[in-house]
Protein backbone atom coordinates (compact mmCIF):
# COMPACT_ATOMS: atom_id res chain seq x y z
CA UNK A 1 0.00 0.00 0.00
CA UNK A 2 1.37 3.40 -0.98
CA UNK A 3 1.28 5.93 1.85
CA UNK A 4 0.58 9.50 0.70
CA UNK A 5 2.42 11.44 3.39
CA UNK A 6 1.97 14.82 1.69
CA UNK A 7 -1.79 14.29 1.59
CA UNK A 8 -1.97 13.18 5.23
CA UNK A 9 0.17 16.15 6.29
CA UNK A 10 -2.12 18.50 4.34
CA UNK A 11 -5.22 16.98 5.94
CA UNK A 12 -3.81 17.38 9.45
CA UNK A 13 -2.72 20.98 8.85
CA UNK A 14 -6.13 22.00 7.44
CA UNK A 15 -8.01 20.26 10.25
CA UNK A 16 -5.86 21.72 13.03
CA UNK A 17 -5.60 25.26 11.63
CA UNK A 18 -9.19 25.45 10.48
CA UNK A 19 -8.72 26.32 6.84
CA UNK A 20 -6.69 26.17 3.66
CA UNK A 21 -5.14 29.63 3.93
CA UNK A 22 -3.43 29.09 7.29
CA UNK A 23 -2.49 25.51 6.38
CA UNK A 24 -0.82 26.56 3.12
CA UNK A 25 1.19 29.22 4.98
CA UNK A 26 2.20 26.67 7.62
CA UNK A 27 3.38 24.15 5.02
CA UNK A 28 4.87 26.80 2.72
CA UNK A 29 2.86 25.72 -0.33
CA UNK A 30 0.20 27.44 -2.40
CA UNK A 31 -3.49 26.85 -1.65
CA UNK A 32 -3.81 25.24 -5.07
CA UNK A 33 -1.03 22.75 -4.27
CA UNK A 34 -2.55 22.08 -0.85
CA UNK A 35 -5.97 21.42 -2.36
CA UNK A 36 -4.40 19.05 -4.90
CA UNK A 37 -2.68 17.09 -2.11
CA UNK A 38 -5.91 16.65 -0.19
CA UNK A 39 -7.89 15.69 -3.29
CA UNK A 40 -5.27 13.10 -4.21
CA UNK A 41 -5.49 11.54 -0.75
CA UNK A 42 -9.28 11.46 -0.78
CA UNK A 43 -9.28 9.95 -4.28
CA UNK A 44 -6.91 7.23 -3.16
CA UNK A 45 -9.04 6.46 -0.07
CA UNK A 46 -12.26 6.90 -2.04
CA UNK A 47 -13.54 8.82 1.00
CA UNK A 48 -14.33 12.45 1.79
CA UNK A 49 -12.32 13.64 4.82
CA UNK A 50 -13.38 17.30 4.77
CA UNK A 51 -16.55 19.11 3.77
CA UNK A 52 -15.62 22.53 2.44
CA UNK A 53 -17.39 25.45 0.86
CA UNK A 54 -16.21 28.97 0.16
CA UNK A 55 -17.19 29.89 3.74
CA UNK A 56 -16.10 26.99 5.96
CA UNK A 57 -14.17 23.72 6.33
CA UNK A 58 -15.54 20.92 8.46
CA UNK A 59 -14.36 17.39 9.20
CA UNK A 60 -16.58 14.58 8.00
CA UNK A 61 -17.38 11.73 10.39
CA UNK A 62 -14.64 9.65 8.74
CA UNK A 63 -12.26 12.63 8.94
CA UNK A 64 -12.88 13.01 12.68
CA UNK A 65 -12.14 9.32 13.21
CA UNK A 66 -8.99 9.44 11.07
CA UNK A 67 -7.52 12.67 12.48
CA UNK A 68 -5.85 11.20 15.64
CA UNK A 69 -4.18 8.49 13.57
CA UNK A 70 -3.13 10.99 10.90
CA UNK A 71 -1.61 13.29 13.54
CA UNK A 72 0.31 10.34 14.95
CA UNK A 73 1.67 9.42 11.50
CA UNK A 74 2.76 12.99 10.77
CA UNK A 75 4.33 13.36 14.22
CA UNK A 76 6.31 10.11 14.00
CA UNK A 77 7.61 10.81 10.50
CA UNK A 78 8.52 14.40 11.41
CA UNK A 79 10.43 13.25 14.49
CA UNK A 80 12.20 10.48 12.55
CA UNK A 81 13.25 12.85 9.77
CA UNK A 82 14.35 15.42 12.35
CA UNK A 83 16.54 12.80 14.03
CA UNK A 84 18.16 11.90 10.71
CA UNK A 85 18.79 15.57 9.86
CA UNK A 86 20.30 16.02 13.32
CA UNK A 87 22.58 13.03 12.73
CA UNK A 88 23.64 14.45 9.39
CA UNK A 89 24.25 18.04 10.45
CA UNK A 90 25.81 17.32 13.86
CA UNK A 91 27.47 13.95 13.29
CA UNK A 92 25.30 12.33 15.92
CA UNK A 93 24.92 8.59 16.32
CA UNK A 94 26.83 5.46 17.31
CA UNK A 95 29.44 3.41 15.49
CA UNK A 96 31.92 0.55 15.92
CA UNK A 97 35.65 0.80 15.26
CA UNK A 98 38.15 -2.07 15.08
CA UNK A 99 41.69 -1.15 16.12
CA UNK A 100 45.04 -2.82 16.67
CA UNK A 101 46.02 -2.87 20.39
CA UNK A 102 48.94 -0.42 20.19
CA UNK A 103 46.72 2.24 18.62
CA UNK A 104 43.78 1.34 20.89
CA UNK A 105 45.85 1.95 24.02
CA UNK A 106 48.02 4.84 22.85
CA UNK A 107 46.71 7.05 20.03
CA UNK A 108 43.01 6.18 20.07
CA UNK A 109 42.14 7.41 23.62
CA UNK A 110 43.35 10.94 22.83
CA UNK A 111 41.36 10.96 19.58
CA UNK A 112 38.24 9.72 21.36
CA UNK A 113 38.63 12.42 24.00
CA UNK A 114 38.70 15.12 21.29
CA UNK A 115 35.75 13.47 19.56
CA UNK A 116 33.72 13.30 22.79
CA UNK A 117 34.19 17.03 23.31
CA UNK A 118 33.06 17.79 19.76
CA UNK A 119 30.21 15.23 19.65
CA UNK A 120 28.96 14.64 23.21
CA UNK A 121 26.49 11.82 23.60
CA UNK A 122 27.80 9.66 20.76
CA UNK A 123 28.59 6.06 21.65
CA UNK A 124 31.67 4.25 20.29
CA UNK A 125 32.16 0.49 20.47
CA UNK A 126 35.82 -0.51 20.17
CA UNK A 127 37.01 -3.92 18.96
CA UNK A 128 40.68 -4.20 19.89
CA UNK A 129 42.11 -6.93 17.70
CA UNK A 130 45.07 -8.05 15.62
CA UNK A 131 45.80 -6.49 12.23
CA UNK A 132 44.19 -9.38 10.35
CA UNK A 133 41.14 -9.33 12.61
CA UNK A 134 40.73 -5.57 12.13
CA UNK A 135 40.60 -6.04 8.38
CA UNK A 136 38.09 -8.89 8.66
CA UNK A 137 35.88 -6.93 11.07
CA UNK A 138 35.53 -4.12 8.52
CA UNK A 139 35.18 -6.52 5.60
CA UNK A 140 32.34 -8.44 7.25
CA UNK A 141 30.50 -5.40 8.60
CA UNK A 142 31.30 -5.91 12.28
CA UNK A 143 32.94 -2.47 12.33
CA UNK A 144 32.39 0.58 10.12
CA UNK A 145 36.03 1.59 10.21
CA UNK A 146 39.31 0.04 11.25
CA UNK A 147 42.69 1.36 12.34
CA UNK A 148 45.42 -1.10 11.50
CA UNK A 149 48.22 -2.11 9.19
CA UNK A 150 48.15 -2.24 5.39
CA UNK A 151 47.11 -5.68 4.21
CA UNK A 152 46.94 -7.51 0.92
CA UNK A 153 44.82 -5.39 -1.40
CA UNK A 154 41.16 -6.34 -1.29
CA UNK A 155 38.75 -5.07 -3.90
CA UNK A 156 36.11 -4.31 -1.26
CA UNK A 157 38.39 -2.35 1.09
CA UNK A 158 39.90 1.14 0.94
CA UNK A 159 42.92 2.23 3.00
CA UNK A 160 43.99 5.78 3.87
CA UNK A 161 47.33 6.36 5.56
CA UNK A 162 46.97 7.83 9.04
CA UNK A 163 50.55 7.95 10.32
CA UNK A 164 53.96 6.27 10.26
CA UNK A 165 55.17 4.46 13.37
CA UNK A 166 58.97 3.87 13.54
CA UNK A 167 60.37 0.62 14.92
CA UNK A 168 62.58 1.10 17.98
CA UNK A 169 64.87 -0.93 20.18
CA UNK A 170 63.39 -1.73 23.62
CA UNK A 171 65.65 -2.88 26.46
CA UNK A 172 66.23 -2.56 30.18
CA UNK A 173 68.49 0.16 31.56
CA UNK A 174 71.12 -2.52 32.38
CA UNK A 175 71.44 -3.57 28.73
CA UNK A 176 74.83 -2.84 27.09
CA UNK A 177 73.14 -0.70 24.42
CA UNK A 178 70.89 1.26 26.79
CA UNK A 179 73.10 4.37 26.92
CA UNK A 180 73.10 4.89 23.17
CA UNK A 181 71.27 7.86 21.60
CA UNK A 182 70.41 5.50 18.78
CA UNK A 183 71.11 1.93 17.71
CA UNK A 184 71.94 0.66 14.22
CA UNK A 185 70.72 -2.67 12.94
CA UNK A 186 74.21 -4.16 12.83
CA UNK A 187 74.44 -3.68 16.61
CA UNK A 188 71.64 -6.21 17.14
CA UNK A 189 73.27 -9.39 15.84
CA UNK A 190 74.57 -10.26 19.29
CA UNK A 191 71.45 -9.13 21.16
CA UNK A 192 69.11 -11.73 22.62
CA UNK A 193 66.03 -10.60 20.75
CA UNK A 194 62.40 -11.35 21.54
CA UNK A 195 60.77 -11.76 18.13
CA UNK A 196 57.12 -11.36 17.22
CA UNK A 197 55.46 -14.44 15.72
CA UNK A 198 54.96 -14.68 11.96
CA UNK A 199 51.24 -15.02 12.78
CA UNK A 200 51.32 -11.27 13.49
CA UNK A 201 50.80 -8.62 10.81
CA UNK A 202 53.48 -6.59 12.62
CA UNK A 203 56.09 -9.28 11.99
CA UNK A 204 55.16 -9.55 8.32
CA UNK A 205 55.37 -5.77 7.92
CA UNK A 206 58.79 -5.66 9.59
CA UNK A 207 60.19 -8.63 7.67
CA UNK A 208 59.14 -7.07 4.36
CA UNK A 209 61.01 -3.86 5.22
CA UNK A 210 64.11 -5.70 6.48
CA UNK A 211 64.26 -7.81 3.33
CA UNK A 212 64.31 -4.66 1.18
CA UNK A 213 67.42 -3.48 3.05
CA UNK A 214 69.13 -6.88 3.16
CA UNK A 215 68.87 -7.10 6.95
CA UNK A 216 68.49 -10.55 8.51
CA UNK A 217 67.72 -10.94 12.20
CA UNK A 218 66.60 -13.88 14.30
CA UNK A 219 65.13 -14.03 17.77
CA UNK A 220 65.93 -16.28 20.69
CA UNK A 221 62.35 -16.03 21.90
CA UNK A 222 59.11 -15.68 19.96
CA UNK A 223 55.76 -14.30 21.14
CA UNK A 224 52.53 -13.36 19.41
CA UNK A 225 51.57 -10.15 21.23
CA UNK A 226 53.57 -6.94 21.62
CA UNK A 227 52.47 -6.66 25.25
CA UNK A 228 54.05 -10.06 25.96
CA UNK A 229 57.30 -8.89 24.42
CA UNK A 230 57.31 -5.79 26.62
CA UNK A 231 56.67 -7.97 29.68
CA UNK A 232 59.67 -10.16 28.86
CA UNK A 233 61.89 -7.13 28.25
CA UNK A 234 60.80 -5.66 31.59
CA UNK A 235 61.71 -8.96 33.27
CA UNK A 236 65.20 -8.79 31.80
CA UNK A 237 64.73 -11.79 29.52
CA UNK A 238 65.94 -10.00 26.40
CA UNK A 239 65.44 -7.01 24.13
CA UNK A 240 62.88 -6.40 21.37
CA UNK A 241 62.32 -4.49 18.14
CA UNK A 242 58.84 -3.03 18.41
CA UNK A 243 56.82 -0.08 17.04
CA UNK A 244 57.38 3.12 19.03
CA UNK A 245 53.66 3.25 19.88
CA UNK A 246 53.97 -0.01 21.84
CA UNK A 247 55.04 1.91 24.92
CA UNK A 248 55.21 5.62 25.71
CA UNK A 249 58.40 7.08 27.12
CA UNK A 250 58.44 6.69 30.92
CA UNK A 251 55.45 4.34 30.98
CA UNK A 252 57.52 1.46 32.41
CA UNK A 253 60.32 2.39 34.85
CA UNK A 254 63.59 0.70 34.00
CA UNK A 255 62.82 0.34 30.30
CA UNK A 256 64.39 2.32 27.47
CA UNK A 257 63.04 3.00 24.00
CA UNK A 258 65.92 3.79 21.63
CA UNK A 259 65.63 4.95 17.98
CA UNK A 260 66.81 2.44 15.37
CA UNK A 261 68.73 3.88 12.43
CA UNK A 262 70.71 2.81 9.39
CA UNK A 263 68.02 2.73 8.04
CA UNK A 264 64.99 4.01 9.96
CA UNK A 265 62.16 1.56 9.33
CA UNK A 266 58.55 2.51 9.92
CA UNK A 267 55.25 0.69 9.80
CA UNK A 268 52.29 2.45 8.21
CA UNK A 269 49.05 2.83 10.15
CA UNK A 270 45.97 3.10 7.96
CA UNK A 271 42.27 3.80 8.30
CA UNK A 272 40.32 0.95 6.70
CA UNK A 273 36.76 1.16 5.40
CA UNK A 274 34.59 -0.63 2.89
CA UNK A 275 34.90 0.73 -0.63
CA UNK A 276 31.86 2.47 -2.16
CA UNK A 277 30.04 2.43 1.19
CA UNK A 278 28.74 5.55 2.91
CA UNK A 279 29.83 5.89 6.53
CA UNK A 280 27.31 6.90 9.17
CA UNK A 281 27.57 10.60 10.08
CA UNK A 282 29.09 9.69 13.46
CA UNK A 283 31.80 7.46 11.95
CA UNK A 284 32.50 9.94 9.15
CA UNK A 285 33.01 12.74 11.68
CA UNK A 286 35.48 10.55 13.61
CA UNK A 287 37.50 9.72 10.49
CA UNK A 288 37.63 13.39 9.48
CA UNK A 289 38.81 14.28 12.99
CA UNK A 290 41.56 11.65 12.82
CA UNK A 291 42.82 12.67 9.40
CA UNK A 292 42.61 16.41 10.14
CA UNK A 293 44.64 15.95 13.33
CA UNK A 294 47.23 13.97 11.40
CA UNK A 295 47.52 16.72 8.77
CA UNK A 296 48.05 19.31 11.50
CA UNK A 297 50.93 17.28 12.93
Higher pLDDT, 148 or 86: 148
Element (H, E) at 95: strand 94-99
Q: pLDDT at position 275, please?
A: 92
Q: Output the CATH code of domain 5-90.
A: 1.10.10.10
| pLDDT of 232 above 90 | yes
Average pLDDT rounded to a whole number, residues 144-149: 94
Q: Output the CATH code of domain 164-267.
A: 3.40.190.290
Q: What are the start and end residues of each CATH 1.10.10.10 domain in the chain?
A: 5-90
Nearest 10 degrees: Cα torsion 251, 252, 253, 259 = -80
| pLDDT of 68 above 70 | yes
Length of the chain in terms of residues written: 297
Average pLDDT rounded to a whole number, residues 66-87: 85
Share of the chain above pLDDT 90, in %: 53
Q: What are the start and end residues of each CATH 3.40.190.290 domain in the chain?
A: 164-267
CATH class of 95-161+269-296: alpha beta
Q: What are the start and end residues of each CATH 3.40.190.10 domain in the chain?
A: 95-161+269-296
Taking the CB of residue 53, how many other CB atoms lie within 10 A of it? 7
| pLDDT of 219 above 90 | no
CB within 8 Å of 168: residues ≥ 6 apart:
241, 242, 243, 244, 257, 258, 259, 260
Amino acid sequence: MKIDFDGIQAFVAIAELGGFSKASEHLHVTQTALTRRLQKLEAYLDLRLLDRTTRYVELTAVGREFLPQAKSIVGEVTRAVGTLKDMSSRGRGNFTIACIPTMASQALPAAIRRYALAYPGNRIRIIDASGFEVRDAVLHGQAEIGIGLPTDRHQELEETQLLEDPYMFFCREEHPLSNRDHVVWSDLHEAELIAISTMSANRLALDAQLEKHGINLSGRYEVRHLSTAIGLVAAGVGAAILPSSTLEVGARPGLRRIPLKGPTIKRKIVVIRRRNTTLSPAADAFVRLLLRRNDEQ
